[in-house]
Amino acid sequence: MTPLGALLIRDMRISVRVGGGALIGVLFFLVVVALMPFAIGPNLLLLKRIGPAILWLAALLASLLALDRLFAADHDDGSLDLLLMGRAPLELVVATKALAHWLTTGLPLVIAAPVIGLLLNLDAADDAALVLTLLVGTPALTFIGMVGAAIAVALRRGGLLLAVLVLPLTVPVLIFGVAAAQSAFAGAAPFGTAFTILCALTLASLVVGPFAAAAALRQEIE
Partner 1 sequence: MALGDLANPSRFLAFANRAIPWLGGLTVIVFAFGLNQAMLAPNDYQQGATVKIMYLHVPSAWLSMMAWAVMTVAALGTLVWRHPLADVAAKAAAPIGGAFALLCLITGSLWGRPEWGTYWVWDARLTSELVLFLLYLGVVALWRTVEDPARAARAAAILTLVGAIDLPIIKFSVDWWNTLHQGASFGLEGSTIYPTILFPLLIMAAAFMLLFATLQLAAMRNEILRRRVRTLRLMRARTAS
Which residues contact partner 1 (rule: CB under 8 A)?
A: 147-148, 150-151, 155, 157, 161, 164-165, 167-169, 171-172, 175-176, 179, 188-189, 197, 201, 204, 208, 212, 215-216, 219-220
Least gap, CB of 106 to partner 1 (angstroms): 20
Question: What's the gap between Cα 94 and its chain centre?
Answer: 15
Nearer residue to partner 1 within complex by CB, 70 or 147: 147
Least distance to partner 1, CB of residue 195, Å: 13
Q: Which is nearer to partner 1, 46 or 165 (CB)?
A: 165
Closest CA to 148 of 81, 57, 69: 69
CB of 137 to partner 1, least distance (A): 13
The amino acid present at 217, given as its one-letter code, is L
Question: 39-68: buried (b, 16+ CB within 10 Å) or exposed (e) per residue?
Answer: eeeeeeeebbeebbbbbbbbbbbbbbbbbb
Nearer to partner 1, 26 or 147 (CB): 147
State the minimum distance, in angstroms, from the CB of residue 111 to partner 1: 27
Q: How far is the CB of 89 from partner 1 (least distance, A)?
A: 18
Helices (H), the chain: 3-16, 24-40, 44-65, 69-77, 79-85, 90-101, 107-119, 124-151, 158-169, 171-181, 191-221
Residue 176 CB neighbour total at 10 angstroms? 25
By C-beta, is 124 or 208 nearer to partner 1?
208
